[in-house]
Structures are given as C-alpha cells and as structure tokens.
Amino acid sequence: MLTNQAITSKSPNKSFLLGIPFANINRQSALDIIDKILEQDNSSSLFFINAHCLNTAFKNSEYNKALQKASIVLPDGSGVSYACKMLGKHLTENLNGTDLFPHLCSLFSKKSKSVYLLGAKPGTVERLEAWIKSNFPTLNIVGIQHGFFHPTEMNSIIDHINQSGADVLFVAFGVPKQEIWINQYEHQLNTTLNIAVGGLFDFYAQNVSRAPIWMRKVGIEWIWRLIQEPKRMWKRYIIGNPLFLWRVWKEKRSLSISQPSHKNLPGSYKQVVSLIRSKLLRIYWQLKAKIPLKVKRVIDILLSIAGLVVLSPICLLIIVAIKTESSGPVFFKQTRAGLRGSPFLLWKFRSMYQDAEERRAHLESSNEMQDGVTFKVKNDPRVTIVGKLIRKLSLDEIPQLWNVFKGEMSLVGPRPALYSEIEKYSFLQRQRLDTLPGLTSDWVIAGRSKISFKRQAELDIDYVHHQSLWRDIKLIFQTIPSLISGQGAY
C-alpha cells in the first residue's frame, strides 16, 4: 500500500503539524496523486486535517495512529495555514474536502470509477446522491448507506460495499470515528480508495449552508459555522482554536530551543539583531493594516445579524403599514456605488409611491440642496405617509443590514452614492469610494441633510484616511440619539 510517508518523503512537500505528516501540495498535485492511487490494487485512504482534527489527534492515540498510516493527508482550513506561518512554513494551498469534492467527482467520472456513499443521517445521503447525479450524470454510484446503523450490521454493510464493486468509498461519520473506522476495516474492503469527508454530505445535501466566499478567503468560515450551530460548535471554536494555537506555539518554542544559538549563525550579533528587528517590524505593520479590517468585518457580521433579529418585529409592522397604505413592493432596491465604485443593489423599505422616479424630473427645480450633486425636497410629494415616519427615524434603512451582512456595506462609512452623483464629484471627492460605504458616518450624526455635500465629502474623506475601530464604535453609539431625534432627516 502507498503510505503517506511514501508519497511525501521523496520531495520537500512533506510537512508536519503537532507530529502529524501531511502533503503540502496544490490541488492539481493532490489530484495527480489520487489518480495514481486509483491504478493500484490495494486499498488506500485519504484524510483531511484541520485545527479540530489536530486537537483531537493530540489526545486520541487511535485517531493519531490512523492519520499516521493514511496514504495521503491533506490540509484543510485557515487554522492549518496560520499554524504553518507560526512555524515559519508556507501552506501551498487549502485543500478542504468540500471544495475538492466536485474535482474528485469529475476525476472519478473520467476514469469510470464507481462510488459508494456511506454516512450522515437518513435522507442526507439520498439528497447527496441526487446532487451528484444532477451535476455528474456519468459518475456511477453503486450504493448508498446512512451512518445510523447498529454495530451488529457492520459485516453485512462491508459485504454490501464489496459486492457493489465500488472503487471509491466516501465515509462521513465525523472526526475521529470515520478515520478510525477506515483504518480498522480497510483490510476487509475491496475498494481502491477510502475517503473520510466529515460534514461534506450535509453541505451538498443542503442541510448546512456554506459561508460566503469572502469569509472563506479571509479564513473566518468558522464564524459562519459557529453562528449556524452554536450549541454544537462553540467548544470546538471558542475553546479549540486558542488551544490549537497554544499547542502550535509550544511546538515552535521546542523547535527553537533545539536550534543552534545566534553565535553559530553567519554574520555579527548586530546583524542578527537587525534582521530580527526588521522581521518584527514587518509583522507589526502587516498586523496593523490587516487586523483592524478583519475585526471590523467580524463586528459588521455580528451586529448586522443581531440588528436583523432584534428589529424583526418592527420590520413586520413596517411591512404591514406599507402594504396597507399603497400598492407596490415592500422593498425598494437601487444600484449604488460600493467600494472603488463597484455596483451593488442597495435595499430599503419603500417610502415613496411607485412612480417616484418618473416624477423626480418635475421636482428638480424644487431641489433644496444647492451643491449640484444630491437631491432633497423637504416636503417631497412622492413620499407616502408611512414613508415620512420611517424616514424621520431612518427605519427605512433597516434592510441595509442585509447589505452589511453580505459585505457590500459596513456599519460605518460614507453613504453609498448614485452613479449620477459620482459623475459630478471632483477628483478629490472620489476618495469617498476608497472604503466600503456605510449605514452611518460623521456627517450623519452632524445633521444629515442640513450639511452641504461639500462638507459631507470632507468628513467622509477624513474618515477614509483616519478610520479606526475606536472611531467606528464612537460613531455607532453617537448615531443612536441622532436617529431618535430625527435631526436633518427627510
């Protein structure tokens, strides 16, 4: 059998985390290795490791043994990437099973390899089968079996897998049960490749939704999982993640102690100190630039979710009031300019009659804003009675919490502009587009419509160049009395 060590020991692509070897390779290299495994006669195994897996392997010797014996182990998750950086390594690519699954299905289909699906709750495996048949109609699924069976049925299930003639077996029992099971029964299976996939079945069966792509890219998909399943996931992430980083730090410390001291390094002591100082400064400036933005995004997600939940009763009342007063949709959507001018759909509760946009041309002469950019009429005849009330208290803006949650807006930032307004901006005023637009800003709490656009732009540009988490927090709290008073809102 081709072992993990045999695959990786011939190249510099073998890495270790907390004593567990894994293949530090890109997706194509992983698929090439899997392709070679499929040509073998022996039964091999493919496992994935993330921070939770490594925490589990640290205290579960049977699971640790299974990972050590695996044919190939692939890195999964931002925790592995961050741990590699802590140890002075570089993770080539995050190869999580959920993203890799369609590529595996494509490979098995092209090579005419049959598949057996084992695990998850009753009903889930059937939905996954339907998804595969819809997206990979030529992939031969020769058997399915949910994971909620009695131990006395084990031999009959293994016989069924072997009789099906399956080349590939997907096992979804969860960590560490699935890896231990494969390691225990691999010698009885006639399959060529056995893959432990954790919660993958649930994702493709749509039992659990995946985090938005931007969350995956910045490495905070775990927050999405925590929000979805707090009772099940809180211990894994709230306790597990810091524990994992502490264990990696201890490993780094033990490795550094075993390394030669600076006296044995080339160059003078001053050169070594200078090198360390420059690296620390580089890390400092990188963290100073990135951490506040990531923290700001996390705050946006948490507060937008909380706002939508807490304000949902008010939203229901507004919806009923809008539908009662006038015909038309409850929500108003409009294309606005986002970060660096990228378009997005901004959402509001409808506060005007349906023909408001057509009637605007007749009201241009009544525009009370003298800046030549924005358009405001204090007693706008297009605004409904309900619209006047929700505008006064800025309740029409509540749906924009959805824009914040999606990452198109932030809680704090320049108000999103129309493209017709941007055309009238000066070159300097276009700097307002250099950050995400927001629900509130300096000029919102300073008087809103009472302030000229020129002054609004000046305040927004100052925010762009001097934004900070503390400034955001202050603006959020200062916005509350401004909204209650309704100052400058119409």
Instruction: Kindly report, residue by residue over 353-398, the tens digit of the pLDDT.
Output: 877 677 666 666 566 555 555 556 667 788 889 888 888 888 899 9
Same domain, 194 and 300: no
Instruction: Kindly report, residue by residue over 156-215, the tens digit of the pLDDT.
Output: 999 999 999 999 999 999 999 999 999 999 999 999 999 999 999 999 998 888 888 877
Q: Is 69 part of any domain? A: yes
What confidence score (pLDDT) does residue 285 get?
A: 61
Q: Is 264 part of any domain? A: no
Distance CA 24, CA 327 (A): 59
Same domain, 192 and 315: no
Distances (CA, A) of 137 to 205, 271, 370: 17, 62, 63
Same domain, 198 and 300: no
When pLDDT is cut at 50, 70 and 90, the band that residue 8 belongs to is very low
Q: Is 412 part of any domain? A: yes
Same domain, 180 and 303: no
Number of domains in the chain: 2
Confirm if 5 and 70 have CB atoms less than 8 A apart: no
When pLDDT is cut at 50, 70 and 90, the band that residue 480 belongs to is confident
Residue range(s) defining the domain that contains residue 196: 4-204
- Candidate from 53-57, 388-392, 404-408 with smallest mean pLDDT: 388-392
Same domain, 44 and 182: yes
Confirm if 437 and 414 have CB atoms less than 8 A apart: yes
What confidence score (pLDDT) does residue 265 get?
A: 45
Please state the length of the chain.
490
What confidence score (pLDDT) does residue 63 get?
A: 96
Distance CA 22, CA 87 (A): 15
CATH number at residue 196: 3.40.50
Q: Which of 147, 196, 160, 195 is nearest to 175 (CA)?
A: 196
What confidence score (pLDDT) does residue 434 get?
A: 85
Final residue in a domain of this structure, among 179, 204, 229:
204
78 pLDDT more than 50: yes
Same domain, 179 and 312: no
What confidence score (pLDDT) does residue 278 get?
A: 66
Q: Is 227 part of any domain? A: no
Tokens of 99: 């993203």
Final residue in a domain of this structure, among 204, 228, 254:
204
Same domain, 318 and 426: yes
Q: Is the peptide bond before 176 cis (omega within 30 degrees of 0)?
A: yes
43 pLDDT more than 60: yes
Q: Is 430 part of any domain? A: yes
Q: Is 252 part of any domain? A: no
Sheet holding 72-75, edge to edge: 72-75, 44-49, 193-196, 168-172, 115-119, 141-145
Distance CA 238, CA 262 (A): 37
When pLDDT is cut at 50, 70 and 90, the band that residue 253 belongs to is confident
Final residue in a domain of this structure, among 204, 228, 246:
204
Q: Is 465 part of any domain? A: yes
Same domain, 66 and 169: yes
Confirm if 139 and 105 have CB atoms less than 8 A apart: yes
469 pLDDT more than 90: no
Q: Which of 478, 463, 479, 469 is nearest to 414 (CA)?
A: 463
What confidence score (pLDDT) does residue 340 get?
A: 83
Q: Is 290 part of any domain? A: no
What confidence score (pLDDT) does residue 327 get?
A: 84
